[in-house]
Amino acid sequence: MSRIGRKSISLPSGVTIETQSKVIVVRGPKGELQAPVFPHIQVTVEADQLSVGRDSNEKQIRAYHGLIRSLLNNHVIGVTEGYKKTLKLVGTGYRVTAKGAGISLAVGFSHPVLIDPPAGIKITTEGTDTIRIEGIDKQAVGQVAANIREVRPPEPYKGKGIRYEDEVVRRKQGKAAA
């Protein structure tokens, strides 16, 4: 059995799991998320525990076993607590301002970069150098954060750019003085 797949997921109060023909729907206080149903994978709910099992020992099905358990666990956490990522702007003149639901980045280009969030994602600014991304879908929050970071990734010589709050940028020495 998969080490991850055999662990059961405890369901907090207010979270319901519903199995439909092609998807598993997880509903909670913050919203609703869907996970795909794979063949040969069974999802069972008993009281406040969710368990995932499989009926075959093929390599692909073993991989799906751990995958679907991780997806369901992320969905349960998302609909109860939510996910958030924080980005920092480092550099002289680098700043962020809120523009409606999205943001405007001034990061050394000749024009501001406008970013609008997809549905279900909330982008807020704190001061002029911090961006906070929140949502219930872990994958969507991470992808939006990666897309914003991609506008100006941190460079290794001065460390300027957009970085994750806890990211450590390895610095290079640069040219030696002659």
pLDDT band per the 50, 70, 90 thresholds, residue 86: very high
Q: Give CA–CA dist 118/89, Å, rounded.
A: 21
Rounded to 5 degrees, φ, ψ at 62 are: -60, -40
Q: What is the pTM assigned to this prediction?
A: 0.89
Tens-digit pLDDT profile for residues 91-113: 999 999 999 899 999 999 999 99
- Mean predicted lDDT score pLDDT of the chain: 92
Tens-digit pLDDT profile for residues 63-76: 899 999 999 999 99
- Provide CATH 3.90.930.12 ranges for the chain: 9-80, 83-164
pLDDT band per the 50, 70, 90 thresholds, residue 47: confident
Tens-digit pLDDT profile for residues 120-145: 999 999 999 999 999 999 999 999 99
Work out the burial of residue 58: count CB atoms within 10 Å of its CB; fewer than 13 is exposed, 13-18 middle, 19 or more buried: exposed
Q: Give CA–CA dist 121/78, Å, rounded.
A: 12
Angle at 176 between CA 173 and CA 178, to 5 degrees: 170
Q: Which of helix, strand or coil describes residue 86?
A: strand
Examine the pLDDT at 1 and tell me if it is beyond 60.
no
Residue 177, pLDDT score: 64
Could you tell me the fold of the domain covering 9-80? Outer Surface Protein A; domain 3 (3.90.930)
Q: Give CA–CA dist 158/170, Å, rounded.
A: 10
**Domain 83-164 in this protein, CATH class:** alpha beta
Nearest to 165 by CA among 99, 71, 148: 148
Proportion of the chain above pLDDT 70, given as a percent: 98
